[in-house]
Amino acid sequence: MKTVLTPIVMALSLVFVGCSSTTESGAVGASRSQLLLVSSAELDQMAVQSYNKLKAEAAAKGVLNTDAAMLARVRAVAARIQPQTAVFRADAPRWQWEVNLITSEQVNAFCMPGGKIMFYTGLIRKLNLSDEEIAVVMGHEIAHALREHSREQVSQAVAAQTAISIGTQLLGLGGGTSQLTGAAYEALVATQFSRSHENEADRIGLELMARAGYNPQAGVTLWQKMTSAGSAGGGGFLSSHPSDSSRVAQIQALLPTVMPLYQAARR
């Protein structure tokens, strides 16, 4: 019995040791314990490599930062939001922030770990985004990086694979069953956690943009546009950030909390 329990105890110990939180709760109350088993520095390094590769490929195709006016708009929004990240993480304003623009029909945008931001022209053009609506997207994507959602998902995968490996050893199952179980877990948990992460990113992002002096009511108009674009078959950002009535309802519920922050920033 001792040999059976030892690996299980070790795995559980790893999980409990890895539970912490990456951010302060802010005014919107975004606070929970996270499973973080992998190194933040290691993930940041991988993000830099991936981001540089994406930039190089876009530059080679002649689609990197080709619209100077739009690039200036996106970078101006980012410059106002970045200092506000200190509310959630003291180290975040010192990240090596970078903002670039890819000319593409894709309706897409993201912020990699460590503050590497990429917007696609299709998102702004197809939805005819105002600067305040760009700020909604920007705040949301930066929130994903602040909360280290990518790191959390990788950690979840590590914990799952550890448990699966122990289970297959104890039950004497072959590697094929282990891989199948792992694939099932990934498919099941990915949707569950993406919903949780999207919820957090909406909350934190709304506070970030309000503190930066952008009207958070733009969150309602943005997701209304997203809903219309989604029904028209939009991909990219819309596929990974599904819009629905509950999302708009949450933003509306948060307005009494974030509007005073916006009004204070405008004074």
User: Residue 176 is part of which domain span?
Assistant: 27-266
Compute the distance between CA of residue 234 and CA of residue 228 in angstroms, rounded to an integer: 9
Residue 100 lies in a domain: yes
Residue 206 lies in a domain: yes
Residue 160 lies in a domain: yes
Strand order in the sheet with 116-120: 98-102, 116-120, 109-112
Residue 17 lies in a domain: no
Instruction: Report how many domains make up the chain.
Output: 1
Task: Please report how many Cα atoms fall inside a 13 Å half-sphere around the Cα of residue 169, on the Cβ side.
Answer: 12
At residue 102, the pLDDT reads 98
Instruction: Please identify which residue in the block is written with the tokens 């909406």.
Output: 202
Residue 4 lies in a domain: no
Measured distance between the N- and C-terminal CA atoms of the chain, rounded to whole angstroms: 67
**267: exposed, middle or buried (C-beta count within 10 Å: 0-12, 13-18, 19+)?**
exposed
Average pLDDT, the chain: 77
Residue numbers annotated as active site: 141
Residue 14 lies in a domain: no
| 16 vs 260 pLDDT, higher one | 260
The model's pTM is: 0.75
Residue 20 lies in a domain: no
Residue 110 lies in a domain: yes
Compute the distance between CA of residue 218 and CA of residue 53 in angstroms, rounded to an integer: 33
Residue 76 has pLDDT above 70, yes or no: yes
Q: Which residues contact 33 (CB under 8 A, 6 or more apart)?
A: 19, 20, 21
3-class DSSP state for residue 52?
helix
pLDDT, tens only, 19-64: 555 666 677 666 666 655 566 777 778 888 989 999 999 999 999 9
Residue 171 has pLDDT above 50, yes or no: no
